[in-house]
Amino acid sequence: MTTALIVIDVQQGFYDPAQPPRNNPDFEANLTTLLDAWAGPIVLVRHDSAKPESPLRPGQPGNDFLPVLDGVRSELMFTKQVNSAFHGSVDLHRWLRERGIHDLVLAGIQTNWCVETTARVGGNLGYDVTVAIDATFTFDAQGPDGETLTADQLAAATAVNLHAGGFARIARTKELV
């Protein structure tokens, strides 16, 4: 059975100096390893923010893909304006079904937002989802009570939530190549 690699929001805007501290300094190397070894279909997803202040809005340099994706031959590239890749400018669910794809590997930015949301929706739709956790990263974030969780804490919580909730398997790049 064919497995698709879905690469989510690997864009320049996440390298904006105004971003909070991030985790996983090995993200770029792990994503490159995964992409170089991948034999199945690759899907690239780009976040086109509708927020005027966002570096991810169309027409801004931050909306562009990162150089790590230069030369990647994808079978599908589309945009989205929300967290889940299943709710974008293309009906990803239909596209996958038409090709008989049931297994998904997710990588990209941000671990606890767009990657996690895509994994949850994919799991709910019946896909066998694997998150290449070391081919993702996120940022420190502040909660409603003012408490800040580190990017590492948020990534760990995502891994636990997806695993314990049965949404996705959590794997490292070396397990997938």
What pTM was estimated for this model as a whole?
Answer: 0.97
Nearest to 35 by CA among 9, 69, 61: 69
Are 76 and 95 contacting, i.e. CB atoms less than 8 angstroms apart?
yes
| pLDDT, tens digit, 9 for 90 and up, residues 27-40 | 999 999 999 999 99
The 3-state secondary structure of 1-57 reads CCEEEEEECCEHHHHCCCCCCECCCCHHHHHHHHHHHCCCCEEEEEECCCCCCCCCC
> DSSP state, 81?
S
d(CA 125, CA 106): 15
| pLDDT, tens digit, 9 for 90 and up, residues 128-166 | 999 999 999 999 999 999 999 999 999 999 999 999 999
Tell me the backbone φ, ψ of residue 148, rounded to 5 degrees.
-100, 130
| pLDDT, tens digit, 9 for 90 and up, residues 71-85 | 999 999 999 999 999
CB neighbour class for 80 (10 Å; exposed up to 12, middle 13-18, buried from 19): buried
Residue 1 has what pLDDT?
A: 64
